[in-house]
Structure 1
Amino acid sequence: MKLIMKFGGTSVQNADAVGKTMDIITSHLAKGDQMVVVVSAQRGVTDRIIETAEQMVSSRDTSAVNVLVDYLTSTHLTTLQAVAPDYYSETSEVIIRAINNLHDFLHAVFHLRELTPRSRDYVISFGERLNAPIISAALRQRGISSLALDGCEAGILTTGNHGDAIALPAGEARIRSRLDPLITTSVPVVMGFMGCTEKGVVTTLGRSGSDYTAAILGAALMVDEIWIWTDVDGIMTTDPRLVKDARVIPRISYIEVMELSYFGAKVMHSRSIEPAMQKNIPVWVKNTFNPSYPGTCIEKGERRETRVVKAITFIDKVAAITITGAQMIGRPGVAKHIFSILAENQINVMMISQGSSEANISLIIEEKQVQTAKDALQPLKERCVFREITANEDVCAVAVVGSGMAGMAGTAGRTFSALGKAGINAMMISQGSSEVNISFVVKQEDGPRAVMVLHEEFELSTKCEEC
């Protein structure tokens, strides 16, 4: 088979983890599989780099840069020495050169007192730049031909919106021309999370960027499967920290994963799954530290589900914004003005609800964006487009997800009946026409209990052989 194998930060965080990653790769090569490997930065590295870069904008000295450099050098060279001693000399030169470049760039940020979106993308790509050469060297240590490529060298072309770039279809032919000749004789190791514009400017792909890299490459190369290796056994029915008997879901559809990821579940981001969905490529989520466990297969999901609900998740640190006023009734374009202004201010609206009277619109946004939203909408209030805007930050959003809900009468009734029996009030309700997701808002303190109540109501801890 032709595969994409992506290894997350925990799967490559130290020598022991890299050793397990090597075992997985070599076992598949022994079966005759061809593959491209996508790697993330070592766990915690990108966060440290971002933190230091942001400090340089306002710091009085550059001591934090030296601390970061010492940390990166020690961490990466220690791992390299353990997993690829025969290739330490040549690979350490690559790593040290990259760290020196980062050092110089952070000093430039310090002197300029500015970290633009473009320079931020360049800085935070260094986690992958330092790690991919180690993984490639570890493969060569085991007698496997390999080379490390950044996202641009691998052919990934993106839009120019830094921090949240989207892959361009024009990159597919470029990816094929660069990687197809390599995978027949070697294992290319591609740095996840990054691409470049057509002018060669480095961009990053946003949340779950390395997963997105894997899907972009998989779709372009038309691989048989994409494997996402992480530190959990698969996609679960809910957060196991909330429900101890939460269960791994064996199979789940693309659309269900997109809904779950949107509502905070620790799964692939909705954008990450889209390239695979377009080409109908199965995606497996598996545990690097428990590779024999079957994991979760994300697929088209054409068969009728016997289990109505697949999973339940919730998002905290959100706020409910309510916009009210009789002057909104029958007035065309009010919603357009509201959402246009929010979009201009980079405010993501997670849920929407509007009463049939048209006298109020309720929105769910991130808690940290409340004041920005209120300030941005104030001019509309002053123009009497609406009367009042209020915010409630003591809320969380809960989502009940399952493709089996489509056309199945009574699911919403069961959901809110169970909540009512538990004394939990739904303050806002939203459901799309796809019927894959019922979302609602409850008080912050009721969120975890709502998840537990519904997990029990739909018997998600019970194994279902046909699901």
Structure 2
Amino acid sequence: MALHTMKFGGTSVGSPEAIEQVISIIQREITAGSQVVSVVSAMSGVTDALLKSVKAATDGDRWTYQQINQDLRHRHEDAIHRLVEPPPTRESTLQEITRLLDEHIQLCEAINTLGEATPRIIDAIVSFGERLSSRVISAALDARGTKSIALESGDFIITDNNYQDAEPLWGPTEQRIVEKLRPIVANGITPIITGFIGSTPDGSITTLGRGGSDFSAAILAAYLDSDELTIWTDVDGVMTTDPRIDKRAKVLPYVSYTEVGELAFYGAKVLHPKTVQPIVTRNIPMRVRNTFNPDHPGTQIGAETVPTETIIKAVTSIRSISMLTVSGKGMLGVPGIAGRTFLATARAGANILMISQSSSEQSFCYTVRDENAPFVKAAVESELGAEIAHQDVDGIDIMSDVVIVTVVGGGMRGTPGVAGRVFTTLGNKNINVISIAQGGSECSISFVLEEKDLEIAVHSLHDLALASVVEETVY
């Protein structure tokens, strides 16, 4: 019997009507002869509300976090009353919701007393979103004749203690999934599992970062040896560009693991950037499909690269970034400047999105999120204080109001002239390219532009991608 792992995002479980659709999708797959493991996000807006309750508790605003708690209680109780008919199942689920939200209030009261919230307690609070939704969905599925159980992924996904952005400990995670989850599935029970959440070896709740439900679904799919992973969301699949920028965006019928990794990292909102990591070595196929249009085949994601006629498959962009430049004639031939800069950047809590260096070694630049830029500048200036004092390094310059635009396509590898076409297209629109980077995989080319040029750049480059969309769906 085939095993199918599915992940449903926040919009997919955002209302009783949406949950009805989720149940229909799960039951349809079971009727077709598959075992199903489902990973669910919090109901849309719940995680943000929980974070707001943390801030209110930190500020001593008891009324706000109590009101948030009541709003969450009413929303989930309403869903239960509308979705769960048999009284025993309904009552036990309501009791679970009450228990969880009472615990939420207790944690908020603790923050209020202490006047601060640690990353550990923040993770504990934001975990309630998935813990609540999983109970509702499992009870509704069970009430419709499909034997189900709500499970917490922290029982299976074991992580380090880097709260709010934890990394899985792969050995213990595989052992837990094999020993604890596989037998449940083998017994014909349909699990509804919390996304986004892990736990340390001693049982403290962690989270995998925003969007981590995709990642946790891929981890479970990998160690369950699933035949397929489907990410159910609110769009028809991976698109050629952001439809909010260019309404001509089309669904790509097929992309490779490598291509979707680039798309996710450089701004595509469909997938968490880490999603493909657990499944790529096991060659587990993945699809991105629309919960609200389940008859659309969506986008298939697999190991093989299928080039398109004009090579470029998609265009993505990232806003709200800053470019930092480190320069100085004294840097020429001096080892370690870049390494120390990047270590200081990491200590400032920032991820580097793109790097470019001049061949003279007298300057290099890299991009970080806007909110990180001032802290990164201060950290790097402190690290390179002696070099700046001796004028070997001129200083750290920040350029704001810039964006990263990336063209992606596995067929770009080894194909002459792709970069030329891209930059000729931009030049014809009088768009200045500030910085360029291309990885060794040759799957993408990224460049920094002024923010004012973003839309015309995406539209112009999207013309190249649209000409290359393969109309024949690959299965």
Same fold at TM > 0.5: yes
2:118 matched to which residue of 1? 116
**Which residue of 2 is the match for residue 76 of structure 1?**
76
Q: Offset at 1:303?
A: 4.8
User: Helix, strand or coil: the match of 1:6?
Assistant: strand
CA contact (8 A) 1:52 1:64 kept: yes
Structure 1 CA distance, aligned partners of 2:170 and 2:396?
41
Deviations 1:320-343, CA, capped at 9 Å, x for gaps: 111111111111111111111111
Q: Distance in 2 between matches of 1:466 and 1:106?
A: 50
Deviations 1:193-238 (A, max 9, x none): 1011111111101132111111010000101001111100000000
Residue 344 (structure 1) shift: 1.2
Residue matched to 2:12: 11
Cα distance in 1 for residues equivalent to 2:42 and 2:468? 34
Please name the residue that 2:397 is paired with: 390
Matched residues in 2 for 1:115 and 1:209: separation? 21
- Give the CA deviation at 1:248: 0.2
Q: Name the Cα RMSD after superposition.
A: 1.4
Match of 2:201 among 184, 198, 201: 198
Cα deviation digits, residues 77-123 of structure 1 (max 9, x gap): 00111111212111000001100000111011011011111111111
Equivalent of 1:356 in 332, 350, 359? 359
Corresponding position of 1:342: 345
Residue 33 of structure 1 and its aligned partner are, at CA, apart by: 0.5
The count of corresponding residues between Structure 1 and Structure 2 is 465
Residues 314 and 465, structure 2, Cα contact 8 Å, conserved in 1: no
- Check the 8 A contact 1:257/1:267 in 2, yes or no: no
Which runs of at least 4 in structure 1 moved beyond 6 Å after TM superposition?
none
Match for residue 156 of structure 1?
157
Residue in 2 that maps onto 1:324: 327
Counterpart of 1:129 in structure 2 is: 131
Q: Which amino acid aligns with 2:253?
A: P
SS at the partner of 1:322? strand
Partner-residue secondary structure (3-state), 1:265: coil
Give the alignment partner of residue 232 of structure 1, picking from 230, 235, 241: 235
SS of the equivalent of 2:154 reads coil
Aligned mates of 1:240, 1:126 — CA distance in 2: 32
CA-to-partner distance for each residue in 1:122-143, whole Å, 9 max, x for gaps?
1110001111111110111111
Between the aligned partners of 1:440 and 1:462, the Cα distance in structure 2 is 22
**Could you tell me which residue of structure 2 aligns to residue 94 of structure 1?**
96
Q: Is this contact kept in 1: 2:381–2:395, CA < 8 A? A: no
TM-score, normalised to structure 1, is 0.97
SS in 2 for 1:211: helix
Per-residue CA shift, 1:21-79, capped at 9, x if unaligned? Answer: 111111111111101111110000000101110222123x3001211111011100001
1:160 Cα deviation (Å)? Answer: 1.6
Q: Which amino acid aligns with 2:28?
A: S
Q: Is the 8 A contact 1:160 1:203 kept in 2?
A: yes
Q: What is the percentage of aligned positions where both structures have the same residue?
A: 40
Give the secondary structure class of the aligned counterpart of 2:12.
Answer: helix
Q: How does 1:137-176 map to 2 (within 5 A)?
A: 137-153=139-155, 155-170=156-171, 171-176=173-178
Superposition deviation, residue 418 in structure 1 = 0.4
What letter corresponds to residue 239 of structure 1 in structure 2? D
Other-structure match for 1:379: 382
- Return the alpha-carbon distance in structure 2 between the equivalents of residues 20 and 403 of structure 1: 35
Q: Which amino acid aligns with 2:101?
A: I
Structure 1 contact 380–386 (Cα < 8 Å) conserved: no
Closer, same or farther: CA 125–412 of 1 in aligned 2, 3 Å = same
Distance 1:49 1:379 in 2: 36
Within a 5 Å distance, the mapping from 1:234-249 to structure 2 comes to 234-249=237-252
Aligned-pair distance for 1:169?
1.8
Unmatched runs of 5 consecutive residues or more in structure 2: none
C-alpha change, 1:428 and 1:149, in structure 2 (3 Å) is same
The 8 Å contact of residues 356 and 437 in structure 2, kept in 1 or not, is answered as yes
Q: Which amino acid aligns with 1:282?
A: P
Kept after mapping to 1: 8 A contact 2:253/2:473: no
* Deviations 1:340-363 (CA, angstroms, capped at 9, x unpaired): 111111111111111011111111
Between the aligned partners of 1:370 and 1:168, the Cα distance in structure 2 is 31
Deviation at 1:302, TM superposition (A): 4.4
Contact 2:332–2:362 at 8 Å: present in 1 too? yes
Aligned: 1:285 with 2:292: no
